Structure 1
Amino acid sequence: MARHIYACPLRWSDMDAFGHVNNAVFLRYLEEARIDFLFGSEFGKGNHSFSDGSVVARHEIDYLRPLVHRPEPVVIESWVTHVSRASLTVSYEIKDEERVYARASTVVVPIDRETGRPRRISDEERELLAAYRDDEPAADQADAVEGAVAV
């Protein structure tokens, strides 16, 4: 099982009044990692499967620790935890060498651009996604919420 690794820079504008990365910004981080995974990585090279488009059907985020601005990027690991006939679930961990700041998942639905309707995931796409397929890691007791991320 492979995980896609994306180094996500933290921007000063990501901060809220409390000095934390704002909770809504985490969605942008996930989007950047997902686009890099599906289109810019080894998975995406030469694979035009999802280039017609996709839509996000659901996001789920568990904020485990506050993330504060710093010059070093955070790492976002992405992998596939579920593939159905017409959707896939991408899971993520936003972390550095010492801590996991958030765990998240996104349900992605590929669409037919001409009709704007959901489409089935092809056998070829399933095969490509299988290399990144894994069960989501169990939450560790050490990952208990240490503080809320400000809204």
Structure 2
Amino acid sequence: MSHTNITVALRWSDQDANGHLNNARIVTIMEEARVRWTRAQPEFASFRGGVVVASLNVDYLAQADYLPEMVVAVGIERVGTKSFTVRHVGYQGEQAVFDGRTVIVPMAEDGRSSRALTAAERAGLEANRFAEVPAD
């Protein structure tokens, strides 16, 4: 059980007028961390038909400031029959500033319908289960 820390560079456009991170940009930061993470995992090579985001949830835990970078812990939280959930926890220093979950559905080769996860995909996803990170 593990998670991977991905460092994401923040962009000038990520901030709001008060110098905080815009709440909508957190979703973009989650996406960047998730895409970079999945591209580095050999288990995800089997999703040739692609995947789609079926659901996305973000809990904002603390004010996020515009700094040069942010660390996002990424891993698998749940593996279902036809979907899996990726958890993303964003940190500034030791402070968790958001905790998000994205439900991902693999697409069939027709590119229009979903499909069940294979046994090999399930095993690969299970190997990347999110390990709890220390609480503040």
TM-score, normalised to structure 2, is 0.89
Instruction: State the distance in 1 between where 2:7 and 2:124 align.
Output: 22
Instruction: State the distance in 2 between where 1:44 and 1:32 align.
Output: 18
Q: Which amino acid aligns with 2:57?
A: E
What are the ranges of 5 or more consecutive residues in structure 1 without an aligned counterpart? 143-151
Shift of 1:4: 1.7
Q: Which amino acid aligns with 2:80?
A: S
TM-score, normalised to structure 1, is 0.81
**Alignment partner, residue 56 of structure 1:** 53
**Alignment partner, residue 35 of structure 1:** 35
Shift of 1:137: 6.3
After superposition, residues 1-150 of structure 1 pair within 5 angstroms as: 1-39=1-39, 41=40, 43-44=41-42, 47-71=44-68, 73-134=69-130
Instruction: State the distance in 2 between where 1:136 and 1:110 align.
Output: 25
3-state DSSP of counterpart to 1:90: strand
Q: Which amino acid aligns with 1:102?
A: F
Cα-Cα RMSD = 2.0
Instruction: State the distance in 2 between where 1:11 and 1:81 align.
Output: 28
Do the aligned residues in 2 keep the contact of 1:37 with 1:44 (CA within 8 Å)? no
Work out the percentage of aligned pairs sharing the same amino acid. 32
